[in-house]
Structure 1
Amino acid sequence: MAQEVRGVIAPGKDEPVRVETIVVPDPGPGEAVVQVQACGVCHTDLHYKQGGINDEFPFLLGHEAAGVVESVGEGVTDVAPGDFVILNWRAVCGRCRACLRGRPWYCFDTHNASQKMTLAATGQELSPALGIGAFADKTLVAAGQCTKVDPGVSPAVAGLLGCGVMAGIGAAINTGNVGRGDTVAVIGCGGVGDAAIAGANLAGAARIIAVDIDDRKLELARRMGATHTVNSAQTDPVEAIRDLTGGFGADVVIEAVGRPETYQQAFYARDLAGTVVLVGVPTPEMKLELPLLDVFGRGGALKSSWYGDCLPSRDFPMLVDLHQQGRLDLGAFVTETIQLDEVEKAFERMHAGDVLRSVVVL
């Protein structure tokens, strides 16, 4: 039987979000209803609110979430009611050419729930952020979006693996292939950039250089494992990174801003045959111009990292285990916990750079 619950809705471009009553249908084949316990406030949710993703308003926001499976539809075998899960936004198909080659993290046909959640007052269909919509008491997702993990972990930190923290850690470990003794630079020290620093630290990087224009963020970056910091509002970051790497540049540079200017910095701050990883999300109008001779002459690899090239079934349980062992401090990413009706204020604090992550706890 369909249920009515609270959810945070973005009604139109740049309009304030509000809490509305939404209708969550019973799960159909391959679907699951999840009782949400916590959901992080991610910059992607703000992009949805601002119309930067698409114009399919109204949006049901929230996607960095953890909770308990309440019910499942026909044919679901991987999760069952009562399972504690982290939600992911890329349920792999298992049938596309990437999956059949044994590279499911590149799946070309990821999917979400088929049914739509709706506004209770009007019946209008909602567009769930990244196919999840977890600023809600309950949400409907494809069962493949649920990854079972140890229920002993706090939902407030587990949910962060559903997007930003996984994107950053994966950019370092999976996409950048950071190894023991490498030098790494991370440009942009928000949640994703700090996660990339944590990932480089886990991988055994010898030197991790954090670059940002905000000294508050640089201090947080040191707590995440950065060995050196550069305020790029005061110092040329390319020259600073070269000075800190014997004049050569970093083995891996991770760009966590998503702007042409910072990407160029990343390109020239890497060593010959080094790797640039773009994990910051650009907007559609942005253009990049680089001398083709420099692209050819410097060699190496220019990579984009989607969701940290993660495979949730492999990576989420591993990272939860590392957290529980005390080797990955996921709690350090949580600046504050809030209620559903405080999401609009959380966006304001995010825009001002006052928080690393606000987390809605239900």
Structure 2
Amino acid sequence: MNTFRWIALTALILALAAPFTRSVVAADFVDVLSSPAIQSDKAIGGVFTGLTRAGQRLVAVGQRGHIFYSDDNGVRWHQAEVPVSSDLVAVHFPSPTQGWAVGHDGIVLHSDNRGETWTRQLDGRQVGQIMLEHFQRQEGQQPDDALLAEAQRMVDEGADKPFLDVWFANDKTGYIVGAFNLIFRTEDGGRNWVPLMDRTDNPGALNFYGIRAIGDDLFIVGEQGLVLKLDPATQRFINIPTPYSGSYFGITGKPGSVLVYGLRGNVYRSVDHGVNWDKVELGLSSSITASTITADGRIILVSQAGHVLVSTDDGASFTLKPQDRLGPAAAAQAIASDVVVVAGARGLRQLPFE
């Protein structure tokens, strides 16, 4: 099973050399899309790769469909009810109550109660068919043979392509992105999803690792230095060149200052909506895998090893904060002026940074 961002992040985080696979014999095989996540006290110590806020609540997602939430800034965690045991990668709440989580096997989950329970909206068994039907019936256009072939391949191969990030502008409009140029949009809160693979400047079908809005601009980042930006006029995601050709894992920033970050400590910053990019020197070779912004506007980056770097000048420079509890990190969320909660291979933990 190809695992893309799981490989990119977990290989860094766990120093694995191969994709994650479950060692089960055929007689014991259970479809993860048909198996609810197991409720277990030990699950909180597992691998987590996504973390966000739902209002004042923290919500974390990870391996084997595990979702946990905390109402006391990560001191105590409670396990949510999840209908699948697929590995989950990312989670986003555009409002305190409404949230979406995505992951392997093409899974998309939705919660309308602050992350306590989740329902399935989409999975990889449906993705290919949705693509095929959409591209066959495009009005006023000749069917794109390449897109139709890709859709048919998705149908034939089944539920093995992951979604790797999710972002919603509000409770209705959102995007999911993933491997091999996978991108879908919904305008009805996930009841229906429309494929947008024909609206990306991504001829090599590179993997998308992150999608986020900074101010009025919506960006996608991926492998081989890929950065795309939504053109509101054409509703296409236009390629934006950057000086780096390695993988970008995420986007952060504030209106007027956008940062993309990824392998080997590479961070680039633009103050003109992505037209020009300058390298931000961190003094680290560790890959940057997570980011968050404090209530007072400081930008925080976290490395795969757990280094915490803080910027007080909108990302122009960063200061490394000494840590005595470094550990693999995949996601981060600021909870106070001097504390972040970090999700990674060692579960969920608080890290002070001052």
TM norm structure 2? 0.28
Relative contact order: is structure 1 or structure 2 higher (C-alpha 8 Å, sep ≥ 6)?
1
Larger Rg: 1
Q: TM-score, with normalisation over the residues of structure 1?
A: 0.28
